[in-house]
Amino acid sequence: MAEYKDHQFSFQYPDIARIENVEGSPDNEKWFNIVYPQYNATIFCTYIPVTPETLRNALDDSYQLAYSHASIADAIKQVNFTNELHNTSGIIYEIKGSVATPIQFFVTDSLSNFFRGSLYYDQKVNKDSIAPVTQFIREDIIHLMESLEWGSTK
């Protein structure tokens, strides 16, 4: 496993993937991608500093982005996530069917940090042919969520 460190957060990700920073993110936000070249897949990631007042908007946006695929998805399953050791909680949205983004997720401390990601394939997908890769990357996402630690935002 490799480790990504920023002053606001850190997490582990697999050695077979690489991090690509995205230019032009709004002030205080951080945009980057976790790219899996051999699978033509990318996890698009966003870190947003939040307040208890702005957290609701971030949660609503995450929900809306996941459920915007409801019309073409076979089903959407929400799996709750909690890690008391790192003071994090979140949801993994598993979007079933032939969709370009079969997994979306977020992690937050409910106070000042919000991290979200969306797995996308860079090609037209067939749910049966990508199922093993999606399951493999899902395990990487769970590890990312479990290893995510908040840093100093000062």
Contact in structure between 50 and 113 (CB atoms under 8 Å):
yes
Q: How many angstroms separate the CA atoms of 23 and 33, rounded?
A: 11
b/e per residue, 71-109, with b = 16+ CB within 10 A?
Answer: eebeebeeeebeeeebebbbbbbbbeeebbbbbbbbbbb
Which H/E stretch holds residue 134?
A: helix 127-147
pLDDT per residue over 65-84, tens digit each?
999 988 889 999 999 999 99
Average pLDDT for the chain: 93
Distance CA 39, CA 106 (A): 22
Strands in 2-5's sheet, in edge-to-edge order, are 2-5, 9-13, 149-150
Tokens of 118: 């969306």
Q: Please tell me the predicted confidence (pLDDT) of residue 12.
A: 98
pLDDT digits (tens, 9 = 90+) for 95-147: 998 888 999 999 999 999 999 999 999 887 777 788 899 999 999 999 999 99
CA quadruple 59, 61, 62, 66: dihedral sign: positive
CA-CA distance, 148 to 154, in Å (whole number)? 18
